[in-house]
Amino acid sequence: MQWLDRPLVLVGLMGVGKSTVGKRLATDLGIDFVDADEEIETAAQMTISEIFERFGEPYFRDGERRVISRLIDCVPRVIATGGGAFMNDQTRALILQGAIAIWLDADLATLVERVSRRNTRPLLKNGNPGEVLAKLAEVRNPVYAQAQIHVRSKDGPHHRTVLTILEALARWHG
Ligand code: S3P
């Protein structure tokens, strides 16, 4: 993908596979992969759960915005973002202007199954994950829809999703 002159930013709900798909996509394209959540944890020297507990969500969102703005620098790389990053007006504007946003989307049952594999997500610690995700989908999906590219992640192997992204990118470029 010789024409690629900026980062590809994966957005979408928790559990959709942004990190796994992002790593494979980066490998296929021969470019770097960066996980924004991991960058935030490294910068803060704390896990995301600890940041939420000690400083609250607004503090986390501010760190998230700063990390993402540092990563959007005209270098083609794949960036996986946390599910809430694109909801922040400033972060979203940065992504839409300086990168290509790819909304990875899956049905609720798939998301619920995938988030059950890891219990480190602060927003899913209180309450039923299915209900929390359904509410988040209602609020967030119209915003994720602003991404330049929309790809549905089927309940199949991630490499199939990567192929779908590559095809969508080629179409988008024209
Ligand atoms: C969040 C998603 C998480 C993480 C934080 C908040 C969200 O990332 O950034 O727990 O608001 O949806 P993943 O989408 O990678 O799970």
**Closest CA relative to residue 97, chosen from 146, 48, 130:** 146
Q: Where are the alpha helices (DSSP H) in the chain?
A: 18-29, 36-44, 48-55, 57-71, 89-98, 108-115, 129-144, 158-173
Hey, whose CA ends up nearest to atom 5 of ligand 1? 82
Q: Is 90 in contact with 65 (CB distance < 8 Å)? A: yes
41 vs 78: CA distance, rounded Å: 18
Return the ligand 1 atom nearest residue 121 CA. Answer: 10
Atom of ligand 1 at shortest distance to CA of 87? Answer: 11
**Which residues does 61 contact at the CB level (< 8 Å), separation at least 6?**
84, 88, 91
pTM for this prediction = 0.96
- Name which residue sits closest to atom 16 of ligand 1, judged by CA: 14
Give the C-alpha separation, 143 to 139, whole Å: 8
In tens digits, the chain (174 residues) has pLDDT values of 788 999 999 999 999 999 999 999 999 999 999 999 999 999 999 999 999 999 999 999 999 999 999 999 989 999 999 999 999 999 999 999 999 999 999 999 999 999 998 888 999 988 899 999 999 999 999 999 999 999 998 767 888 999 999 999 999 998
